Amino acid sequence: MSSEVNINNYIPLPDPIKITEHQWPSDIKPLVSIRTMAYNHENYIRECLEGVLMQKTTFPVEFLIHDDASTDNTAAIIKEYEKRYPNVIKAYYQTENSYSKNPKEKRRLRQNFFLMFKGKYIALCEGDDYWIDPLKLQKQVSFLEENDEYGLVHTKAKVFNQTTGKMLDDVIGDPNNTYFDFLMKNRIATVTVVLRNSLIKEYRKEVKPGNMNWKMGDYPLWIWISRRSKIMFLPDSTVVRRLVKGSVSNQQDREKQIEFLRSTIQIKKYFISKYSCTEEKLKAIKEKIAIDKIKAAVINQSYDLYTEGIREKKKLNSDITMFERMYGVILRSPILTNILVFILKYRKRAL
């Protein structure tokens, strides 16, 4: 970035320093707004906050935290940090839980929080995840400032399994970031993302996600952005995504897992119907949906979901593999199903 006064009316510092040490005039707008959504994260929120506050940048930053009416000590911990770093942290304390509401009510309850964001860029970090690279923001924002054709930057992520206590290195993150790639699967860990605020506003105006009954908010945004701009992947490991039992992206309940899958499929079908796609790619996407149903059927012991997947593969004239046929036999037997699920889960834990 140049040393000239830019559109956010600030002169970059000569070298990155900790954001807690920044001293900007009161009329200077932040270049980046960091967004953290927290709910009952008392065991994790300190690590999240410390990971953000250790960031070193040459530009002004604001750290906005949304506590969704936590019933534990999460709000008290946030208030402790807010009092300690009033020039950096601004928190919004929900008096009633918004996540449990229908889309319209959720949007109403959260709208005041989202009106707080002033940054040209938005960085994301959920309350149970945390950043480990003190130059994460500096790297990503510098790239976006120098490359207008890119709308989003993400990185590799480590994964910490809270149940087993094991850290998996660099298991999330993918350099393949086209529209087709995202329709095949979600390739981004939300906690790694920095994106342009202007794109979020355009997305909300065009897609109106608040009116959709989607179970996730990030995946459809990535798909939409992949059509509007380029997406950059940095191979650095900058964050840790925590797998916590019962979290939105790691639902343990079988019905919720299937619900989550169906929502993912609903999102894919929305974008397929909204934007054009070649017949070859359309078939590949539909086949991937069928395969995902078959795999989810095994883990969640759902023969109905399995038959859906097989029926869809047949409709596409796709080959049914030996393993897929075998799954059908196993799912008819509760004993064999339990053995298979145990083996699959054991292999996952062993990683």
Residue 349's pLDDT is 46
Residue-level pLDDT at 330: 87
Ranges 150-159, 200-209, 273-282, 285-294: which has the least confidence: 273-282
User: Would you say residue 346 has pLDDT above 70?
Assistant: no
1 has pLDDT over 80? no
pLDDT computed for residue 103 by the predictor: 77
Q: What is the pLDDT of residues 206-265, one digit of tens each?
A: 999 988 889 889 999 999 999 999 999 999 999 999 987 755 554 457 788 889 999 999
Q: Which domains does the chain have, with CATH numbers?
A: 17-249 (3.90.550.10), 278-350 (no CATH)
Q: Taking all residues of the chain, what is their mean pLDDT, rounded to a whole number? A: 90
For the segment 317-343, the average pLDDT, to the nearest whole number, is 85
What pLDDT score was predicted for residue 180? Answer: 95
3-class DSSP string for the chain: CCCCCCCCCCCCCCCCEEHHHCCCCCCCCCCEEEEEEECCCCCCHHHHHHHHHCCEECCCEEEEEEECCCCCCHHHHHHHHHHHCCCCEEEEECCCCCCCCCHHHHHHHHHHHHCCCCCCEEEECCCCCEECCCCHHHHHHHHHHHCCCEEEEEEEEEEEECCCCEEEEEEECCCCCCHHHHHHCCCCCHHHCEEEHHHHHHHHHHHCHHHCCCCCCHHHHHHHHHHHCEEEEEEEEEEEEEECCCCHHHCCCHHHHHHHHHHHHHHHHHHHHHCCCCHHHHHHHHHHHHHHHHHHHHHCCCHHHHHHHHHHHHHCCCCCCHHHHHHHHHHCCHHHHHHHHHHHHHHHHHC
pLDDT tens per residue, range 41-61 = 999 999 999 999 999 999 999
